[in-house]
């Protein structure tokens, strides 16, 4: 439900909340609304503090670009697809899930592509020459090439899931890895605060602004390519073990960290999303829960006050350090009951426990006028990097 927050110097702030805002989040949103050239702010129900700009926020400007309102993992997002075998084929043998998980850990590593899979050159659409500076292109030839096909750490995951009809699905959450961080740092160093105390910004119409927008588009394309390679690697494993084929017609891919020129209310605006999923009318999306909980396939409703956006997930309620201090490995194992995961690494994954996140169902209820649920999926096998 839309719960408008007080306007900040004439800037409307629309919010869909699953609970009360903490003081630090409210202050961060107010500061963002006061930033020069900000026209509108939309707050998603998974909002939480992360750096200078909260995760779970969409904002529009008239012409300025704020790299901090996109973040470093440019193009971070989700992909999903259905297999042509029932989920029962995976769960019928208790040993099979562990075998699949072990194979996934080798084929989809966390830090760099699996041995023998690193390409000699980056594929079409993400050639290094597409970047705005030679030093970024050099990074693409190294990190960008070596990390292609890798999952990353933190909240990134690959899950095999069952829908409510018993079909088997894959869902992957990953982004632009080191390249997004490099692009963000490069352009932040060339940004300037448009007013005292403001976040660094670029003029979208300037040479520097156009270069950043082009590099964001490159990072989004790299992230899509990365997710596709991991999806293919997982599909090869299931083809070998289950005789399963991935139905390409069911593939969904979306991202939630980006900036783009969009039209809203008859105006061309610079729309930033940091942990906010595009949800234009009829647009397919994926909203994951936390590790071990339900996720949702969605279709956007195009709500104008949200800048046609929705939440990108459940959203943290405990910061990583706080979660590590309050949740132990035994609790994580209990919370993951019924899901195959690498329990040997539980002590290193406690900050990703379901109890460190909001209830995904409360988040979905809070944004019923932003997005509609198409299907619910539950995890069977959860692979995470650490």
| Interstrand relation of 257-264 and 371-384 (parallel, antiparallel or unpaired) | unpaired
Q: What is the pLDDT of residue 220?
A: 98
- Name the band, by pLDDT with cuts 50, 70 and 90, for residue 385: confident
Under the banding of pLDDT at 50, 70 and 90, the label for residue 292 is confident
Pick among 2.50.20.10, 3.40.50.620, 3.90.1860.10, 3.40.50.920: CATH of 5-317+357-384: 3.90.1860.10
More confident residue, 112 or 5: 112
Gap between the Cα atoms of 371 and 42, Å rounded: 14
Mean pLDDT of all residues in the chain?
A: 96
Q: Work out the pLDDT band at 2, boundaries 50, 70, 90.
A: low
What is the pLDDT averaged over residues 270-286? 98
CB within 8 Å of 255: residues ≥ 6 apart:
75, 76, 77, 78, 175, 220, 223, 224
Residues 6+ apart with CB under 8 A from 290: 313, 314, 352, 353, 354, 356, 357, 360
Specify the pLDDT at position 74: 98
Q: Residues 2, 14: contact at Cβ < 8 Å?
A: yes
The pLDDT of residue 386: 66
> Is-contact 289 297, C-beta < 8 A?
no
Confidence check: pLDDT of 128 > 70: yes
With CA atoms as reference, report the closest residue to 90 among 386, 355, 382: 382
Quick one: what percent of the chain has pLDDT higher than 90? 94
d(CA 225, CA 221): 6
Q: 339-372: per-residue pLDDT in tens?
A: 999 999 999 999 999 999 999 999 999 999 999 9
- pLDDT at position 1 over 70: no
Name the burial class of residue 329, with classes exposed (0-12), middle (13-18) and buried (19+) by CB atoms within 10 angstroms of its CB: middle
What is the mean pLDDT of the segment spanning 374-385? Answer: 96
Cα-atom radius of gyration of the chain, to the nearest Å? Answer: 20
Q: Indicate if the alpha-carbon torsion angle 336, 240, 157, 302 is positive or negative.
A: negative
- Does the pLDDT of residue 6 top 90, yes or no? no
Provide CB contacts within 8 A for 76, sequence distance 6+: 173, 174, 175, 176, 180, 223, 255, 256, 257
Per-residue pLDDT tens digits for 161-203:
999 999 999 999 999 999 999 999 999 999 999 999 899 999 9
Catalytic annotation, residues: 312
pLDDT band at residue 51 using 50, 70 and 90 as cut-offs: confident
Share above pLDDT 70 across residues of the chain, in percent, rounded to a whole number: 99
Give the model's pLDDT for residue 9. Answer: 80
């Amino acid at each position: 439900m839309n719960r408008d927050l007080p306007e900040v110097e004439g800037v409307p702030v629309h919010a869909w909340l699953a609970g009360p805002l903490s003081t630090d989040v409210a202050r961060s949103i107010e500061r963002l609304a006061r930033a020069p050239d900000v026209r509108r702010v939309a707050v998603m129900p998974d909002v939480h503090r992360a750096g200078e700009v909260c995760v779970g926020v969409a904002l529009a400007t008239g012409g300025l670009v704020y790299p901090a309102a996109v973040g470093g993992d440019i193009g971070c997002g989700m992909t999903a697809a259905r297999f042509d075998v029932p989920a029962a084929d995976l769960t019928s043998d208790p040993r099979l899930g562990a075998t699949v998980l072990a194979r996934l850990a080798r084929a989809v590593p966390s830090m760099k592509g699996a041995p023998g899979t690193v390409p000699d050159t980056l594929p079409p659409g993400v050639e290094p020459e597409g970047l705005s500076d030679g030093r970024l292109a050099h990074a693409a030839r190294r990190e960008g090439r070596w990390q292609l096909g890798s999952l990353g750490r933190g909240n990134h995951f690959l899950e095999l899931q069952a829908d409510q009809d018993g079909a088997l699905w894959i869902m992957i959450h990953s982004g632009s890895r080191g390249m997004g961080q490099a692009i963000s740092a490069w352009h932040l160093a060339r940004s300037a605060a448009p007013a005292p105390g403001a976040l660094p910004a670029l003029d979208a119409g300037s040479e520097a602004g156009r270069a950043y927008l082009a590099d964001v588009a490159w990072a989004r394309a790299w992230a899509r390519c990365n997710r596709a390679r991991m999806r293919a690697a997982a599909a090869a494993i299931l083809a070998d073990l289950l005789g399963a084929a991935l139905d390409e017609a069911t593939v969904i891919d979306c991202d939630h960290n980006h900036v783009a020129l969009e039209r809203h209310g008859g105006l061309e605006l610079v729309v930033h999303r940091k942990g906010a999923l595009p949800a234009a009318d009829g647009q397919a999306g994926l909203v994951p829960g936390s590790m071990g909980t339900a996720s949702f396939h969605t279709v956007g409703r195009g709500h104008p006050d949200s800048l046609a956006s929705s939440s990108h997930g459940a959203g943290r309620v405990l910061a990583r350090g706080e979660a590590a201090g309050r949740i132990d490995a035994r609790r994580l194992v209990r919370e993951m009951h019924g899901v195959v995961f690498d329990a040997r690494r539980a002590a290193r994954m406690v900050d990703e426990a379901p109890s460190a996140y909001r209830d995904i169902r409360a988040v979905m209820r809070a944004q019923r006028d932003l997005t509609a649920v198409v299907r619910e999926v539950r995890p069977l096998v959860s692979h995470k990097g650490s």
